[in-house]
Amino acid sequence: MRKGTIVGYPRIGVNRELKKVTENYFKEKISSDELLNEAKALRNEYWETQEKSGIDLMPVNDFSFYDQMLDTAILFNCIPKRYMQMELPQIDEYFAMARGYQKNGKDIKALSMKKWFNTNYHYLVPEIEDDVEFCVNDNAQVFSLVKEAKALGVNSKVVLIGFYTFLKLAKIQSPDNFEKYLFELVAVYQEIIKKLDVEWIQIDEPILVTDLCKEDVSLFVKAYKMLLASKGNKKILLQTYFGDVRDIYEELIALDFDGIGLDFAEGPKNLELMEKYGFPSDKYLFAGVVNGKNIWVNDYKKSIETLKAIEKLTDKVYISTSCSLLHVPHTLRLETELPEIFKESMAFAEEKLLEITNLKDLPDKLLTKNQAILARKKIIEGTYNQEIRDEIDSLIESDFIRVDKYDDRIKLQDEIYNIPYLPTTTIGSFPQTNDIKTLRAKLSTGEISNVEYENGIKKKIDEIIKFQEDIDIDILVHGEYERTDMVEYFGQQLDGFIRTKNGWVQSYGTRGVKPPVIFGDVKRENSMTVKWITYAQSKTDRLVKGMLTGPITIMNWSFIREDLPIQKIAYQIGLAIRAEVLDLEKAGIKIIQIDEAALREKLPIRHIEWEEYLDWAIKAFRLTHSKVKKETQIHTHMCYSEFADILKAIENMDTDVITIEAARSDFSLLDFIKENNFKTQIGLGVYDIHSPRVPSVSELTELIDKLVEKLELRNIWVNPDCGLKTRGMEETKASLINMVKAAKQVRETL
């Protein structure tokens, strides 16, 4: 008989309780004991929800206060010395690694942060120093969580990130030590397994769905043979997700795992591998047939067909999610304002639990109901905008190409705008302070009129324009106070989108995003930003950037329809943003920033598929600005991705200025940019906005000097590494004041 499980569960809370309580701890409003007790209550709630839904095997240690990669580093005692030397309490040391620390005369930066494979989740990059001594940290949370689950009678499996994935994603001071560290961690894992009082242990190795060479496979097999030889009576599940394991399938099934977890949503080739090479009769297959990354109702007919094909090869099956449900919102229960015709077509984490239970033994009645829902969904998706579809089909090559060459544009812009060397600017947003949130809440409840709301927004714009002028920032922004989120805002104003009330998904730490849902053809009926940008420009003689989000980021940070090729969705959004760009230009805005923070996010796991994706993704972006005038300066912004291997594609975006996250990466991209003669003007973020710490003038001066040493002076911009929306106003002002002072100091020496 089939059983059901999941890879992992969301942890921020149905109403973002974990975010709120953790941030209260940061603000010293509650004690560490109160933080721990609230987290325990949330975990109990998650397990109870899973048990009531009929899940047979529930994950333990999928919970984290900030990030599982950080938790894993703590488990291995892989803590850089600079954090240990701070002599902080354990919980504060943990958060210092996550977000930096600046208090009581102590000052330290956070670990680097990167995107978790092809998702919008960010993980903290562990640092492995040369003199690291891996060992089991008995104070790591996994041991207390196992006891906690056992006391509640939870039928559990412990979730651990595998040592191979951990090392592959870590920043190793001496990369030649990889193999040495690998086998040191095998010994640590052997000890961890002995200490864990559970039957099943899930070891996540998502790195196996990436391109592996023979050496990779050989090392993995050798390491896991050692581990599995000493597993005793523990059952070890090797869990993969985000794709297929084509490079290592034969070797995996030959190893002494008790279960193997495969993704059949993003990795359909996994079924082909099973049919070609078989599946061992002594192992359980954890079949990821319920998609853990989208919010659409499962097609039971398709899933049953997949399960029947699987069961021809093995009768030992757990029905599972394709990956952790971390990547979808908690529940549809709170979506009281969502029209039923849309709501019935969706499944968030709670609803996916029921889908797994239903698939264990699906009654005909449920199958019939499911297929009727899908039929209604198809009808809605089938209602489209013929005008937009015809425009997409009629696009030609010149629609994606800016006529004026880069050098000619920059020369003209320099002459017209007289922008100084090392110009200072910000990425766009300023802190969403309580007065803004209150203003927005009053509008939604009808307590104030739309006119009163707009006057309140204008007042905030007035304040932030004056602040930027006072500290002498060169290129200003309007603060984005009218926007809840850089994607949700545009989703609210474009045809083809619907939005949820409480569909929060964790992006990193305590940061949540609420992705809109693309359900139909996308069209812009009215201008979306012109009123606010032109108002800001009317308040200053300095240049104010028009701020937009690019088509790939809007698409990648939304839950998208499944009935239309993804590139056509991108082009539809691209046309909508182009219309806004041209309206901004017509209104007299000279600099327009089109953010593509998520360009790399949907980059295929396999390198062989990169060229096709980058071809249409870059074209979708170029579509937005190909018709602007020569003197209009186009900026873009990208964050928290590895850029070196797609630098040529970034240059092909044909912007005039690009800003890139670099503060957490120690400017490791600098040499690569120089060696490859990257021509576009660039701002490598000089300080980390995801940390509350305020960088000093001397620290920033040193970083800007490093930029000047490596890059052509004319090409350097000075800016934070991302938008400032999530920061407090006090720290934001202090940081920007120091940033401008530092840029001026370096400018004067030149």
What the block records as the tokens of 182 is 């690998």
Residues 505 and 518: beta-carbon distance below 8 Å:
no
* Residue among 122, 478, 625, 690 flagged as catalytic: 690
Beta bridge partners of 237: 202, 259
Look up 625 and say whether it is catalytic: no
Residues 286 and 5: beta-carbon distance below 8 Å:
yes
Going by C-alpha positions, the residue among 464, 467, 617, 471 that lies closest to residue 547 is 464
DSSP character string of 134-202: ----TTSHHHHHHHHHHHTT--EEEEEE-HHHHHHHSEESSGGGHHHHHHHHHHHHHHHHHH---SEEE
Output the CA–CA distances (angstroms, integers) from residue 105 to 100, 101, 102, 276, 689, in the order listed: 13, 10, 7, 62, 20
Is the CA virtual torsion 19, 25, 28, 29 positive or negative? positive
What the block records as the tokens of 161 is 């990130």
> If 0-12 CB within 10 Å is exposed, 13-18 middle and 19+ buried, where does residue 226 land?
middle
Type of residue numbered 514: K
Consecutive H or E run containing 459: helix 450-471
Residues 461 and 532: beta-carbon distance below 8 Å:
yes
Alpha helices (H) along 249-361: 249-254, 269-277, 300-311, 340-343, 349-360
Residues 313 and 578: beta-carbon distance below 8 Å:
no
Cβ within 8 Å of residue 78, ≥6 positions away = 126, 127, 128, 132, 134, 170
Residues 605 and 532: beta-carbon distance below 8 Å:
no
Phi, psi (deg, nearest 5) at residue 672:
-65, -40
d(CA 260, CA 283): 7
Angle, helices 300-311/364-382, rounded to nearest 10 degrees: 130
d(CA 88, CA 110): 14
Residues 634 and 592: beta-carbon distance below 8 Å:
yes
Query: Per DSSP, which regions of 315-381 are E strands?
Result: 317-321
d(CA 350, CA 355): 9
Chain position carrying tokens 């970034």: 650
What the block records as the tokens of 284 is 């359980």
| Contacts made by residues 432-435, CB under 8 angstroms, sequence distance 24+ | 432/481, 432/484, 432/725, 432/726, 433/729, 435/460
Residues assigned a catalytic role: 690
